[in-house]
Amino acid sequence: MEDAKMAFARTVRALESGEIRVARKVNGTWVVDTAVKEAILAGFKAGQLTDQSLGAFSFIEKDTLPLHAFAPGDRVRIVPGGSSVRCGAYLAPSVIMMPPSYVNIGAYVDEGTMLDSHSLVGSCAQVGKHVHLSAASQLGGVLEPAGALPVIIEDGVFIGGNCGIYEGTLVGERAVIGSGVVLTKGTALFDATTGGFVPKSPQGQTVVPAGAVVVAGSRPISSGPAREAGIHLYTPVIVKYRDGRTEASVELEKLLR
């Protein structure tokens, strides 16, 4: 058991330094490092419950999974107010966390990204450079199965408030996700600029094309009693692709950095 804990501790250190990561882009395709995911799962199994309370706040967690401690030299801004980062997560220099936010194990958050209040970066989610994750938005965690791609947010993406992106959805570079949009593996994404649905990836994942501007929408059920009742299905819609006007509306305030 001690050997397993030591091996897990080495994995955690490598994840926190950015030396290794759960998934990376290889020749234009995102590839999972299954061994890293398996090591994370082994760390959960090897741990024993311990008291990790802080002052008046009671926390009971496995001894293999402490919080990730930061120092000023890491150049990560974690604004006071209840945010936390689990061990085995990587936050690059110049990342900003507004309170309260949470980043889970195996996550990778690249430079210049802002995590706004009440945001969540789930286990193993991969977040690119200069991403804005707005207030109350969530990136789901994908630990099992070990070979499954996690949620991936590429560089320059803007995610509006109260969004949910789950089950290995991939959001391409510089896409804009409007407030309240929910994307899952089973979500049908309609592209109003082409008049058709966006095809799934070879792994069956929902993929938001680079530069797409997505808003919440719906489509009527075409048959059966639900049609007679006027029932609609939730369907996010690509209304356009990013342009100069979009750039102005989502530009991040540089003074905050």
Geometric angle at alpha carbon 216, from 210 and 219, rounded to 5°: 110
Confidence (pLDDT) at 43? 92
pLDDT tens-digit map of 209-240: 999 999 999 999 988 998 889 899 999 999 99
Q: What percent of the chain has pLDDT over 70?
A: 94
Tell the burial category of 95 from Cβ atoms under 10 Å away from its Cβ (0-12, 13-18, 19+): buried
> Which tokens is 194 given?
């082409």
pTM beyond 0.75, yes or no: yes
Average pLDDT for residues 69-96, to the nearest whole number? Answer: 96
Average pLDDT for residues 3-17, to the nearest whole number? Answer: 92
Give the residue among 168, 254, 246 at the shortest CA–CA distance from 203: 168
Listed in sequence order, the residues at least 6 apart from 6 whose beta carbon sits closer than 8 Å to its beta carbon are none
SS (H, E, C) the chain: CHHHHHHHHHHHHHHHHCCCCCEEEECCEEEECHHHHHHHHHHHHHCCEEECCECCECCEEECCCCECCCCHHHCCEECCCCCEEECCCEECCCCEECCCCEECCCCEECCCCEECCCCEECCCCEECCCCEECCCCEECCCCCCCCCCCCEECCCCEECCCCEECCCCEECCCCEECCCCEECCCCCCEECCCCEECCCCCCCCCEECCCEEEECCEEECCCHHHHHCCCEEECCEEEEECCHHHHHHHCCCHHHC
Q: What percent of the chain has pLDDT over 90?
A: 83
Confidence (pLDDT) at 55? 85
Asked whether the beta carbons of 197 and 188 are under 8 A apart, the reply is: yes
Listed in sequence order, the residues at least 6 apart from 102 whose beta carbon sits closer than 8 Å to its beta carbon are 83, 84, 85, 86, 119, 120, 121
Average pLDDT for residues 89-110, to the nearest whole number? Answer: 98
Average pLDDT for residues 7-29, to the nearest whole number? Answer: 95
Band (16; pLDDT cuts 50, 70, 90): very high
Confidence (pLDDT) at 143? 87
pLDDT beyond 90 at 93? yes
Confidence (pLDDT) at 246? 65
> Which tokens is 29 given?
């395709």
Query: Residue for token digits 């995610």?
Result: 159
pLDDT beyond 80 at 11? yes
Residue ranges per domain, the chain? 74-250
pLDDT beyond 60 at 29? yes
CB atoms closer than 10 angstroms to residue 238: 22
Confidence (pLDDT) at 251? 66
Look up the CATH superfamily of 74-250.
Hexapeptide repeat proteins (2.160.10.10)
Query: Residue for token digits 């989502």?
Result: 250
pLDDT beyond 80 at 245? no
pLDDT tens-digit map of 111-125: 999 999 999 999 999
pLDDT beyond 70 at 101? yes
Handedness of CA 248, 249, 251, 256 (dihedral sign): positive
